[in-house]
Amino acid sequence: MAKPKPARGRSELLIDQQARGPAWGRAAPIQAAGARPGARPRDGGDLLDLIGNTPLLRIRLPELPESVELWAKGEWFSPGGSVKDRAAKWIVLAAEAEGWLPSKRLLDASSGNTAIAYAMLGAARGFGVTVCLPANASRERKLLLAAYGAEVIETSALEGSDGAILEARRRHAERPDLYYYADQYNNPANPRAHYESTGPEIWEETQGRVTHFVAGLGTTGTFTGAGRRLRGLSPGIELIAVEPDSGFHAIEGLKHLPSAVVPGIYDPDLATRTVRVRTEDAYAMARRIARELGLLVGPSSGAAAWAAAEVGKRLRSGVVVTIFPDGGDRYLSTGLWEAKRPR
């Protein structure tokens, strides 16, 4: 049997395309970091540009009246995976401008997400990072810190974030020559990050329609900075702070202020009111958001959504905006996702 004439083969097509220039099937050359105008290799500039401008996501919950809109900033879209990229960026830029970095190691206490953001920026911009972290921080957080090459000092789980703060202060007092103590709980660059980025983003993305801003309190940087900016833009806006209902809680990232060291950056006059959330309600809401909306968020997002829904249910109309600080994949090992689907 005569051998069939080969059909015009794939390789011939590729050769044609290559002759014509970049097209499907031929990879365009990978651009070097320096190819973007103004970008310098290894200065971490590109990474900084990716922080912020997170999507504002519509959260549709059946318990909300139709004329009430609920929106959330999806902060896990940031390169370090959380809202704390914003604070870390502003803190690091201020420290670099003052000449503390990269000659010293950045030292701070963190419940984990700020630590990860510092570790990412330290790797990109060439400074060392030491973080004091409560031992009960999720395994994923610890592994991420190892991945970025940060030094981690674990502190008592029972003492929570306050224990980590005391350890960071002690280390800094011992070796001020070695460490720059970033002190996110008292550093004005933390709320400034949200005053300059989160607040204006919410204003622009809602075209100035936001009526209620709901945010969890950890260092309080998000609530204080974004809240202050939004109140300046719209004096009648309601600012609702969210905290755990007791000092013994498992909502990573949040603080029960009545039983904790109150951060120096907190402005007690800002909140119109405070909503207190039980750990089980925060977890159940995080699971609902994953299973009903397809958004994998962490427990503090569950707390924020639970509080926002409590606010929204009592309104006739309004535009409620909240913050979803991080993603649920940071909690795969914690048992958060193991509850059966409620049906």
Ligand X SMILES: Cc1ncc(COP(=O)(O)O)c(C=O)c1O
Catalytic residue numbers read 84, 300
Tokens in use for 256?
A: 């029960």
- How many residues sit in the footprint of ligand X (CB under 6 A)? 21
Of 57-65, 174-182, 246-254, 288-296, which part binds ligand X (CB under 6 A)? 246-254
The correct pick among 128, 134, 253, 328 for binding ligand X (CB under 6 A) is 253
Burial of 156 by CB count in 10 Å (0-12 exposed, 13-18 middle, 19+ buried)?
middle
Torsion of CA 292, 238, 193, 120, to 10 degrees: -20
* Shortest Å distance, C-beta 233 to ligand X: 19
Asked if residue 279 binds ligand X (CB under 6 A), the reply is no
The correct pick among 130, 187, 279, 300 for binding ligand X (CB under 6 A) is 300
The correct pick among 138, 197, 220, 279 for binding ligand X (CB under 6 A) is 220
Tokens in use for 302?
A: 């569950």
Nearer to ligand X, 22 or 264 (CB): 264
Asked if residue 187 binds ligand X (CB under 6 A), the reply is no
Hey, which residues between 75 and 114 contact ligand X (CB under 6 A)?
82-84, 111, 113-114
* Shortest Å distance, C-beta 194 to ligand X: 7
Instruction: Find all residues with CB under 8 Å of 231, minimum gap 6, and list them.
Output: 237, 239, 270
Alpha helix segments (H runs only) across 32-187:
45-49, 84-97, 113-125, 139-148, 160-174
Check if the beta carbon of residue 321 is closer than 8 Å to that of residue 73: yes
Asked if residue 298 binds ligand X (CB under 6 A), the reply is yes
**Nearest to 307, CA basis, from 271, 337, 259:** 271
Check if the beta carbon of residue 152 is closer than 8 Å to that of residue 122: no
Window 118-157: contact mask with ligand X (x via CB under 6 A): ----------------------------------------
* Shortest Å distance, C-beta 23 to ligand X: 44
Tokens in use for 253?
A: 């990232």
Binding site for ligand X (CB under 6 A): 82-84, 111, 113-114, 216-223, 252-254, 298, 300, 325-326
